[in-house]
Amino acid sequence: MTVPPIEAVRTRLLTRPLLRPWGADVPELHLVVVEVDAGGATGVGFSWTPTIGPHAVQALLDHDLTAFAVGRPAHPELIWDDAWAHLHEAGGAGVTTIALAGLDLALWDLRARTAGTSVAGLIGRRTDRLPAYGSGVNLHYSLDELVDQAERWVAAGYRGAKMKVGSPDLDRDLERVAAVREVLGPQRWLAVDANQRWDLPTAERAIRALSRFDLRWIEEPLRADDLPGYATLRRRIEVPLACGENIHTLYRYREFVAAEAIDILQPNIVRVGGITPFLRIAQLARSSSRGLAPHLLPDLSAQLAATLPGTVWVEEVEDAGWEPLGFVTAPTPVRREGGDLVVEERPGLGFAFAGQPASTRAATESQ
């Protein structure tokens, strides 16, 4: 089958305030919507970032990726590696891979729409129902607010939850984790996330103290690029070690796996550059017998998790979904039933972003 060339790339920036700010420094989220025209059809993808960098991402797409992409085949797997190499002079990861994700997602959407199926269907859907876990950016919450949130997780039907740790005072963390564990009870699992707040001695001391709460994993206890530290820490603790939301390339994931520095890989589909590299990282997790827990973006993560073997838990941060934030004008293909996420069949990725052209939105909403 002949792959048509990319004819045009367009972007627009959407910014929405968070209903529950992730702290004083993260009051909003940004989406850079990316539209790609090829062969008489349009694919729609997006890049994403909380608060920092959306204009830089959009500029890379408008001024560098568009010039690179136009005239090349409209197939994500045929151009991703060349596109990454093209942007590499501006940095091998970070803002460059976040920008590249917008193009990659739009091309996957276009490819699936052209084939008359969803992206999950194109890849090979294995299930339409996945377990979700409640998550919160809540280190700044009072203890009462945190307990209230944990009670909402239980009422929603989640069978697992993740909370933030990393207070300057370890006793505060211990009190808060004990309170959440009491609300969840022994039948639900609990993970904690330190968001890179500790050095190695502090992390080892804190994790040993927190391990009494039967933790599913400890996430990002150290600076994300401290590979020797993670390898050392993993040898010294018994709690499974998770990281990856700030690991942006397959090459870096391979280094963490080879160094025996990680138990659970947590790629953010946008930060790693889109669906194409995410699927490669998922294959790395399978081949190395590591766990996989996609970071955030449940409206996208659940669709891809539905194509993977085994059970993949999907993270849902409270009140951060695209519908309540107003990023989309119609329900996404991912809906929650109790503690599960159900993935419905829609053309492409199935997103109707705010401001989307009426012809594309109508095609999405008619399914």
Residue 135 corresponds to which tokens in the numbers above?
Answer: 């998550």
24 contacts: CB under 8 Å, gap ≥ 6: 140
pLDDT at 1: 66
The CATH number that domain 8-116 falls under is: 3.30.390.10
How confident is residue 51, by pLDDT bands cut at 50, 70 and 90? confident
Read off the pLDDT of each residue in 124-138 and give the average, rounded to a whole number.
96
SS3 content of the chain, % helix, strand, coil (to 5): 40, 20, 40
pLDDT at 362: 36
Ranges of CATH 3.20.20.120 domains, the chain: 122-343
The CATH number that domain 122-343 falls under is: 3.20.20.120
- Whether residue 128 is predicted with pLDDT greater than 90 in this model: the reply is yes
Read off the pLDDT of each residue in 97-124 and give the average, rounded to a whole number.
98
How confident is residue 32, by pLDDT bands cut at 50, 70 and 90? very high
Percent of the chain with pLDDT over 90: 95
**In contact, 61 and 11? CB cutoff 8 Å:** yes
Read off the pLDDT of each residue in 48-53 and give the average, rounded to a whole number.
93
pLDDT at 365: 38
Q: Which amino acid is at 126?
A: R
Active site residue 162: no
Q: Which of 229, 233, 232 is nearest to 218 (CA)?
A: 233
Q: Cα–Cα distances in Å, from 190 out to 21, 58, 171, 234, 241?
A: 22, 37, 18, 19, 13
Q: Please give the Cα distance from 291 to 312 (Å, whole number).
A: 8
- Whether residue 361 is predicted with pLDDT greater than 60 in this model: the reply is no
Active site residue 75: no
Q: Please give the Cα distance from 241 to 227 (Å, whole number).
A: 12
Catalytic residue among 30, 75, 164, 248: 164
Q: Please give the Cα distance from 234 to 344 (Å, whole number).
A: 39
Q: What is the mean pLDDT of the chain?
A: 95
Catalytic residue among 30, 75, 248, 295: 295
Read off the pLDDT of each residue in 78-107 and give the average, rounded to a whole number.
96
- Whether residue 356 is predicted with pLDDT greater than 70 in this model: the reply is no
Q: Please give the Cα distance from 298 to 312 (Å, whole number).
A: 12
- Whether residue 359 is predicted with pLDDT greater than 70 in this model: the reply is no
Ranges of CATH 3.30.390.10 domains, the chain: 8-116
pLDDT tens readout for residues 268-325: 999 999 999 999 999 999 999 999 999 999 999 999 999 999 999 999 999 999 999 9
Rounded to two decimals, the pTM is 0.94
- Whether residue 263 is predicted with pLDDT greater than 80 in this model: the reply is yes
pLDDT tens readout for residues 183-239: 999 999 999 999 999 999 999 999 999 999 999 999 999 999 999 999 999 999 999
pLDDT at 360: 40
pLDDT tens readout for residues 178-199: 999 999 999 999 999 999 999 9
